[in-house]
A = this chain, B = another copy of it.
Amino acid sequence: MKNTFGNAVSMTIFGESHGPAIGAVLDGLAAGLPVDADLIADRMDRRRARGDGLSTSRTEPDQVEFLSGVLDGHTTGTPVTLMVRNTNTRSGDYAATAALLRPGHADYTAFAKYEGWQDARGGGHFSGRITAASVAAGALCEGILRELGIRVYTHIAQCAGISDSPLSSAAGLVCPEPAPGHFALLDPGKEIPMQEAIRAAGGVGDSVGGILETIITGVPAGVGEPFFDSVESELSHLMFSVPAVKGIEFGAGFALARMRGSEANDPFVMREGKVATATNRNGGINGGITNGMPILLRTVVKPTPSIYKPQQTVDYTHYTDATLQIQGRHDPCIVPRAAVVQNTMAAFGILDLLTVRYGTLAQKHGLPQQ
């Protein structure tokens, strides 16, 4: 379905970096759900670039306009359309090097796919700019989940070579909200070192990547579908739609390759009258279905492909080798901004899976008690 995803709740994404607007259509929401405008504004603000040497100097207010589906601060049950106008576009930055394929970008693949008719300005539909739409839509979903007792939290597990504290039951399960304007970290003391490492890379015209870790609490056991609609399938499908994500793992993930079964299996225990697991190496998911423990996943975000160092490339108007010196405004690191993208995308995915199981009305009336 290309730019539409979801079973019971669907999101349709549209827009180009330098086009009139970007936006999203969210369908399948119950009527009468409060739209948490503050939460949406907070999420948009976290995604926003700040022009502080850490992210691009293209800063836009990113005002979200509701075109449909919302009345008096509540959903009406029909498609919710969110639009964000593009205002601060400087396509001229790209003109000088328009014929040179930017390594690591979608320039060449878009050219091949759209036979030269793509909107190439600013990366067009492949720009990270598009995630402003998914963040707005996902934040609306996150607000709905909160009313159902479900929290989604993403921290920067690693960035520019600096690692955050590991998730522990003490820190991880309470899902701290990062202070406004700060990095999402379990250990706030890592913010300055990370920022310095990012600026160091940016200072030499280079960029860095990192790993984001997402934890989702409060999802009851029994959510997700066997085989093709496993929780991992749905969430990975969504995460890989986010530009720059090149890997995902659940629970202990790739570390499971070197564990033995006796280490990888999470022993079941009775805890407060409920079935729980003593460890969580399966990330809250067995056989593709939630087991009631926190869902844990990590995504890797590659270094920003737009770097200022000269790069070897191809001039595709003449099909000759060439050297590219990128102009324009770019983030030396998108990891801190991506945290909220992954967080809201996960919120959307979980809301869809819950709705498949419990029906649309449960979004409003609550999940059945277990």
Contact = CB atoms under 8 A, between A and B. Distances in A.
A65 B15 CA distance: 13
A118 interface: yes
Interface range for A: 35 or more
A19 to B, nearest CB: 5
Contact of A16 (B13, B27, B76): B76
B114 A76 contact: yes
B209 A257 contact: yes
Interface in A18-48: 19-23, 25, 27-28, 31-32
A246 B253 contact: yes
B207 A161 contact: no
B3 A79 contact: yes
Interface in A224-240: 224-230, 232-234, 236-238, 240
A249 interface: yes
The 10 closest A-B pairs by CB, nearest first: A106-B287, A359-B359, A247-B249, A207-B261, A31-B114, A109-B289, A31-B117, A112-B222, A32-B117, A232-B240
Given A14-B79, A209-B259, 20 more contacts: A2-B28, A2-B79, A4-B12, A16-B68, A76-B117, A77-B117, A103-B267, A103-B268, A105-B286, A106-B288, A113-B223, A207-B261, A230-B241, A236-B248, A247-B256, A249-B300, A256-B302, A262-B307, A268-B312, A356-B360
